[in-house]
Chain A
Amino acid sequence: MSKKIDILKLYKSLMRESQKIPDYNFRNYALRKVRDSFKANSSITDATLLKNEVQDAFKNLDIMKRQAAIGQMYSAEKLVIENIENDIKSW
């Protein structure tokens, strides 16, 4: 699992799942957190430490999938700034 290409794959699937979170704040947090964690952990060379981080990331990927589904089931109105972003896009 510690192969670079696999980790990149994991990163991509985490980012993809983050995009699916319906709630504005949770989505942006997930994107920021995934990006920052991978950046911070990129210097890890210790094999066991890296393994732990990768396992954590897999757990988080599962959580994200479940929580994105729950979020879609109980959807709420969008936030003010999301609508502004959409308004700008639709111009």
Chain B
Amino acid sequence: MYQTRTIVKNVLTSHSSSKHYIASLNLLRKFSSDDKYRIKEEFHGRPLYLDVQATTPLDPRVLDSMLPYFTHYYGNPHSRTHAYGWEAEAAVEQARTYIADIIGANPKEIIFTSGATESNNIAVKGVAKFYGAKKKHIITTQTEHKCVLDSCRALEAEGFTVTYLPVQENGIISMEDLDKAITPETSLVSIMTVNNEIGVKQPVAEIGALCKQKKVFFHTDAAQAVGKVPLDVNEMNIDLMSISGHKIYGPKGIGAIYIRRRPRVRVEALQSGGGQERGIRSGTVPAPLAVGMGEACRLAKKEMAYDHAHICKLSKRLLDQICGSLSHVVRNGDPEQSYAGCINLSFAFVEGESLLMALKDVALSSGSACTSASLEPSYVLRAIGADEDLAHSSIRFGIGRFTTEEEIDYTAKKCIKHVTRLREMSPLWEMVQEGIDLKTIQWSQH
């Protein structure tokens, strides 16, 4: 490290003597050709995919179930006068049954939407507006997905009050806080099942029981949970649930919302139209996508235990390798109460974006795909009280059904290599190695 700095310094200060300048440039070039410090790495082929929280690959079995509805059976499922409509309708209803099965619901309680974002909008805005005349208060958490938070912001502009519950350091809400936040004015509590950035599982069953006792509707965004963790809407007292197709190896562009019928939950429709899906979501149901989502749910239910065992094994393998070779690695979110397929790690003294740039041959993300364009640290990590520097150095590893052991080993190896390289370039890391406590340093202001 010292050597590099001297060379750089020589290069920077030796403008006067061109001979010296060229010599040191050559030296720098020679030095940078050393593999250890090389940023640009050459690789052949497509990067590995370890970002299954953003989207999952479409399972070939799902594609196989969808293709007939893209080719021969193209009828509108709402056409009641001919066979084309009937066959499409039968397929959509079969898919609805599969989706209902995976969450222990009745098929009549499943409404097809365009995705979990639309489902969340219908749940939050729909319930709030329908009961808005009497109840004008909503509770959610600070770590929700953007679409829930944004729906709440929109409601605030319309005169509703929203409580954004803080989470504890492990990412889980405190039941006491929730209990205190519920007022007679509260119409809806919206808390996600599994967090998309840190994989933390909220105590959904407890929240459901509390909401039932207080006679408040409970909505949960289960886009990251359905098909991965066992869910039962009746056991857990869930009144509304958002489901996404493309997070469970299904197609993009379709999702569903579960809306309880007994006791009935009413929502105001956001979209006007032909009154399909019991008037809650007008617009033709895309039969091929619905069939795909149904098949994805059927497979997920059948193979939940098998997939879970595989994902847990790989998750442990990745953690053991990384934490075995690197120090100062922090796992964000509760390690016990979380979904094994989502590992969010902060590598101290390494800038997350630099690491992502270096790991070009592995598709990773520093957090939610929706916010990956901004360089701001994740609001989820800030909500769990992560220091600014640690929030900037986080990487999310997503493991799914199709991830292999070799991919995990490759990722761990590359990650360890680049974290070590980036740390060796960091003056902060050098100070820590020398035993200086960074918190005690008085940084001078310029």
The chain A residues found within 8 Å of chain B, CB to CB, are 21, 24-26, 28-29, 32-33, 36, 60, 63-64, 66-67, 70-71, 76-84
With a CB–CB cut-off of 8 A, which chain A residues contact B402? Answer: 25-26, 28-29
Of A32, A33, A76, A80, which is within 8 A of B44 by CB?
A80
Residue ID in chain A nearest B403 by CB atoms: A25
In the bound assembly, the distance between CA atoms of A24 and B167 in angstroms comes to 40
Question: Which of B46-54, B152-160, B383-391, B432-440 lies at the interface with chain A?
Answer: B46-54
User: A29 touching B401 by the CB < 8 A rule?
Assistant: yes
Could you list 15 further interchain pairs (A-B, Cβ under 8 angstroms) beyond the known A25-B49, A80-B361? Answer: A25-B57, A26-B60, A29-B402, A36-B306, A60-B61, A63-B61, A63-B64, A67-B63, A71-B60, A77-B45, A78-B44, A78-B46, A81-B45, A81-B48, A83-B43
Q: B45 contacts A25, CB within 8 Å? A: no
Residues of the B chain whose Cβ atoms lie less than 8 Å from the Cβ of A84: 410
A-B contact pairs, 26 of them (CB 8 A): A21-B60, A24-B404, A25-B49, A25-B403, A25-B404, A33-B306, A36-B306, A63-B64, A64-B60, A67-B61, A67-B63, A67-B64, A70-B60, A70-B63, A77-B45, A77-B46, A78-B45, A78-B46, A79-B45, A79-B47, A80-B43, A80-B44, A80-B48, A81-B45, A82-B45, A83-B44
CB proximity of A48 to chain B, nearest CB, Å = 18
Task: Tell whether A81 pairs with B406 under 8 Å between CB atoms, given A25-B57, A29-B401.
Answer: yes
Cα distance A76–B46 in the bound complex, in angstroms: 9
Alpha-carbon distance between A11 and B43 when the two chains are bound, in angstroms: 36
A83 touches B63 (CB 8 A): no
For the complex formed, measure the closest distance between the CB of A70 and the CB atoms of chain B, giving whole angstroms.
7
B47 surroundings in chain A (CB, below 8 A): 79-80
In this complex, which of B47, B64, B410 has the most chain A Cβ atoms within 10 angstroms of its Cβ? B64
- The distance from the CB of B246 to the nearest CB of chain A, in whole angstroms, is 16
Query: Once the chains bind, are A66 and B57 in contact (CB under 8 Å)?
Result: no
Q: Which residues of A contact B406 (CB under 8 A)?
A: 81
B407 at the A interface (CB under 8 A): yes
Size band of the B side of the interface? Answer: 20 to 34
Which residue on B lies nearest to A84, using beta carbons?
A: B410
Majority secondary structure of chain B interface residues (helix, strand, loop or mixed): mixed
Please state if B60 and A67 are interface contacts (CB–CB under 8 Å): yes
B63: A residues at CB distance < 8 A: 67, 70
Residue interface bits B348-366, CB-to-A below 8 A is 1, else 0: 0000000000000100000
* 7 tightest Cβ-Cβ pairs between the two chains A and B: A25-B402, A67-B60, A83-B45, A80-B45, A83-B44, A80-B361, A63-B64
Q: Judging by beta carbons under 8 Å apart, are B64 and A28 in contact?
A: no
Instruction: Give the docked Cα–Cα distance between A36 and B404 (Å).
Output: 15
Nearest residue (CB) in A for B64 is A63
Alpha-carbon distance A82/B45, docked complex (angstroms): 8
Inter-chain contacts of A80 with B (CB < 8 A) = 43-48, 361, 410
Selected from A66, A82, A83, the residue in CB contact (under 8 A) with B64 is A66
Q: Which residues of A contact B64 (CB under 8 A)?
A: 63, 66-67
Chain A residue with Cβ nearest B404: A28
How does the 8 Å CB contact mask read for B374-407 relative to A, with 1 for contact and 0 for none? 0000000000000000000000000001111011
Residue of A nearest to B43 (CB): A80
Known interface pairs A25-B403, A81-B410. Does A63 touch B60 (Cβ–Cβ under 8 Å)?
yes
| A9, B64: Cα distance in complex, Å | 24
Minimal beta-carbon separation of A14 from chain B (angstroms): 13
Question: What are the residues of chain B within 8 A of A25 when measuring CB–CB?
Answer: 49, 57, 402-404
Name, among B49, B61, B401, B410, the residue most crowded by chain A CB atoms within 10 Å (CB to CB): B61
With a CB–CB cut-off of 8 A, which chain B residues contact A36?
A: 306
Contacting residues, chain A, for B46 (C-beta < 8 A): 76-80
Neighbouring B residues of A76 by C-beta, 8 Å = 46
Considering the chains assembled together, what is the distance between the CA atoms of A32 and B404 in angstroms? Answer: 10
A41 to chain B: closest CB distance in Å? 12
Residue from B47, B60, B406 with most neighbouring chain A CB atoms (10 Å): B60
CA distance A21 to B402 in the complex (A): 13
Q: How far is the CA of A71 from the CA of B47 in the complex (A)?
A: 18
Distance between Cα atoms of A81 and B64 in the complex (Å): 27
Interface residues of B in 401-431 (CB under 8 A from A): 401-404, 406-407, 410
Q: Which of B20-79 contact A (CB under 8 A)?
A: 43-49, 57, 60-61, 63-64
